[in-house]
Amino acid sequence: MGDTGGSIQREDLMHHNHHTPTTAKTTMMRELLHSRSLGFLMEAHNGLSARIVEDVGFPGIWASGFSISTALGVRDSNEVSAGEVLDTVAYMADATRIPIMVDGDTGYGNFNNARRFVRQLCRLGVAGVCIEDKLFPKTNSFIGDRQPLADTDEFRGKIAACKDSQTDDDFCVIARVEALVSGFSLAEALGRAEAYRQAGADAVFIHSKRKDGKEVLAFAREWGRRSPLVITPTTYHRSVGVDTFERAGVSTLIWANQNMRASMRAMREVSEEVFKKRRVSDVEQDLVPVQEVFDFLDYGELDDASRRYLPADPAPASRRDAS
């Protein structure tokens, strides 16, 4: 998986999407959302996982709040601050050339917190943010029932504030509707989605924790492609095929937490094996070789840059100090 192979994959991906390496990430995200074919975002939670998502060929990244929180060892209940999320996303954006949609939870407060968060994301070169219509501090959608929702008019104002504050015209603000996952009716979900669309949301994210996917498909049929529709089939991925979602008018599908969950299992299995056996020889064959890490993160570029920018025969530190 050396750097050469990764570079070829990234160039093929850009050619496939008709983009040049200088195409703005925001433009790439907007085109992905508005494509008539189903697009996919893969979860990442740090710079390494983001680079892997890009390297395997995904056209975009979902910076999951749940996964970032988990990787930092805390709960997905706004225990991670906006600043800590921005620090993490900065590494992800710097490490990749594909667009990132950031899970912005509820916007970390009212409209003022949310619009400041958007301005900071724009400075980092992030392509979009998803804001959900729940109360701050949020609770993960899969915990409990009938979680309270934000007032519709208040959330409309939050969406409008985010759109008014973006510094890139193609930056995307996605309104996540939590009505279905919180146990409210389809009519409530549709009414909220339309209100957010009229407030300026570039896309609507409809969420559900039912395992059959039927209420998501019902929403998609009623929504009728009024604006791009985003889903994450965490609980209903076995029940409905991606082709069905595409035919129903879904624009973008997010695989929301699989990389974090995979890494958690792998780290536990390795740690348990080493702890029990008191040696690493039994697990080494299942691990990525250290040289592959060096190749993937392009340590060779640093060597080349050192030869280009450092003096060929630098003076010893003692001589420099003496002068």
Give the pLDDT score at 23. Answer: 83
CA distances from 161 to 50, 118, 155, 157 (A): 29, 9, 10, 6
SS3 at position 134: strand
Give the pLDDT score at 120. Answer: 98
Per DSSP, 138 falls in state: P
Question: Is residue 11 predicted with pLDDT exceeding 90?
Answer: no
Give which of 141, 73, 74 is closest to 103, Cα–Cα: 141
Give which of 226, 215, 224, 130 is closest to 179, Cα–Cα: 215
Tell me what the mean pLDDT of segment 52-70 comes to: 98
Question: Is residue 9 predicted with pLDDT exceeding 60?
Answer: no
137 upstream amide cis, omega within 30 of 0: yes
Read off the pLDDT of residues 239-266 as tens digits, 9 standing for 90 and up.
999 999 999 999 999 999 999 999 999 9
Give which of 230, 270, 273 is closest to 249, Cα–Cα: 230
Instruction: Compute the Cα dihedral for 94, 9, 46, 61 and give only its sign.
Output: positive
Read off the pLDDT of residues 121-157 as tens digits, 9 standing for 90 and up.
999 999 999 999 999 877 666 656 667 899 999 999 9
Q: At how many degrees (to 10) do helices 47-56 and 258-277 cross?
A: 120
- Percent of the chain surpassing pLDDT 70: 88
Annotated catalytic residue, options 3, 12, 55, 76: 76
- 140-149, 203-212, 240-249, 308-317: lowest mean pLDDT where? 140-149
Give the pLDDT score at 263. Answer: 98
Hey, what are 166's tokens? Answer: 């973006």
Give the pLDDT score at 14. Answer: 38
pLDDT band at 317 (very low <50, low <70, confident <90, very high): low
Give the pLDDT score at 21. Answer: 57
Report the distance separating Cα 281 and Cα 283, nearest Å.
6
Question: Is residue 39 predicted with pLDDT exceeding 50?
Answer: yes
- Among the residues of the chain, which ranges form H helices? 3-16, 25-34, 47-56, 65-71, 82-95, 111-124, 152-165, 186-198, 214-223, 242-248, 258-277, 290-296, 299-309, 317-322
Query: Has 76 been annotated as catalytic?
Result: yes
Report the distance separating Cα 109 and Cα 264, nearest Å.
30
Tokens 């299995």 identify what position?
269
pLDDT band at 91 (very low <50, low <70, confident <90, very high): very high
- 5-19, 254-268, 281-295: lowest mean pLDDT where? 5-19
